[in-house]
Amino acid sequence: MTSKVSMSKAQAYQEAVIAVNRFGLGARPGELEEAASNPRAWLLNQMKAPQFDTQTINTESAFRQYSSLRANRAKRNKLQNNMQAGDQKQSANAMSTPSMFSNKKSKAAGSMTNYSKLMRQTKKQLLTENMWQSVNTADSFSMRLLDFFSNHFSVSMSTVQLNVLAPLLEREAIAPHLFGRFEDMLVAVIKHPAMLIYLDNTRSMGPNSKVGLKRKKRGLNENLAREILELHTLGIDGGYRIGDIQTLAKAISGWSVSSPKEAQQKGFVYRKDFHEPGQRRMFGKKYNERRATQQGERILRDLARHPSTALFVSRKLAQYFISDNPSDALVNSMAKKWKTTNGDLRAVIITLVEHDDSWQTERQKFKTPREFMVSSLRAIDAKPDAPRYFFQGIINHLTEMGQAPFKSGSPAGYSTYAEAWTGSDALIKRIDWLNKLNSVTPKLNDTVLALSQQLFGDTASESTLLTIQRAESARQARTLLLMSPEFQRR
């Protein structure tokens, strides 16, 4: 008969497997043992905002890059037009001026900067840094939560400018508020240039605004307001009406971004002459027009505290972490905590972690391509510098699996449901990637059975253990292990 002590230890390892795989991003070497001492406390200790370098790459520098790109393109177009017009004198003067299009070296290095290339490099740096931070972090729970809210406030790289701004949204507007109040995150996200550009709020002007009265062809754009209500806060069944969309759109009219022609390139700009004047009314509450963006911000904060938002976002969190169909008991507990704390995300997440329904032994979530790739790299303790040629293309590999970062093509983001990722073609792509990974990584020093212990302790099924034991090589065994039900599901 199993002793009480051994049963307690076995239960601790069972919960540790759940902690590192369901809540975290997969076990690195030694991590399962760390979590086993107290799995729930191990998770709660990770509840701190991820840190990124926002000094060298931030929204202001991104806007300066884009402004310079536009200016240089204008110079090039002017040069081409002059040449076509036969203005040889002006063309000669233009060509004698160092520019980003010159192939000759010049002391005026700044004027020769290829800003298009620079923005591509900045985009790649942001995406790869984020990927490797997820792979190497000791706080994988907080990184998984960051992934959730980044997808919740989905922005796609649909323009040159968004190629850089989209990744900055999660660094600047989401990460700092990850364990704060949802309303602070919501306001920061909606005011971030990435969101304003993606959902066309920069083109929105109140019909009775100073500029709107002069430009009859341009008017109110409701795209951002609609997604705030449907996707970011209340949910499609949250009780709002068409009139509420229009009201919110008017409240955030004038929320815009710097123009490339403006001297100051700071990103967010409030354009008073674009703002629809007057009082707003939503859900029985009046919002008088106040200084700058206060009217829109007050509405957003009330939306963040709304009972429908509490239920909608709590359910999405439970679906993301626990199950495609989470229990009502879990969701209602999180929503209740949301309402009593006015959307304190730390309190809501603690409720998620401490609820018994979050610790069912059945693996109910199928990994997305990103989760699969990150957990695979964590399993083998991969580092970005070896083999360099393979890992330099890591974002391309993820794109081939169907989950290109910030390319969902929809404000709803990527699906986290199993049915979106379990097709035969999708599984073949995972196998192909593992085979390539195994071909470029060093030979295994330990047996694959030891790797199974690292990842799952004694919870791997007899079928999985027998399959890897029968493999023809260690590399094939590792592929089989990482394609096993235990690894693909969390």
pLDDT in tens, 364-415: 999 999 999 999 999 999 988 877 788 889 999 999 999 999 999 999 999 9
Residue 439's pLDDT is 86
- For the chain, what is the mean pLDDT? 90
Model confidence at 105, in pLDDT bands (50, 70, 90)?
Answer: very low
> Quick one: what percent of the chain has pLDDT higher than 90?
76
Predicted local confidence at residue 75, as pLDDT = 78
pLDDT band, residue 168 (cuts 50/70/90): very high
Q: What is the DSSP letter of 114?
A: -
Tens of pLDDT, residues 28-58:
999 999 999 999 999 999 999 999 987 778 9
For the residues 158-178, what does the mean pLDDT come to?
Answer: 96
Evaluate if residue 1 carries a pLDDT over 60.
Answer: no
Q: Helices marked H in 153-286 — which ranges?
A: 162-169, 182-191, 193-198, 223-227, 242-251
pLDDT at 240: 96
Per-residue pLDDT, 162: 96
Instruction: Give 361: exposed, middle or buried? Use CB within 10 Å, 0-12, 13-18, 19+.
Output: exposed
> 3-class SS at 451?
helix
Query: Alpha helices, DSSP H only, in 322-423?
Result: 328-340, 345-354, 369-379, 388-391, 394-400
pLDDT at 133: 95
What pLDDT is attached to residue 445?
Answer: 53
344 or 94, greater pLDDT: 344
Whether the per-residue pLDDT at 100 is higher than 70: the answer is no
Mean pLDDT score, 166-185:
97
The β-bridge partners of 280 are 287
Q: What global pTM score does this model have?
A: 0.91
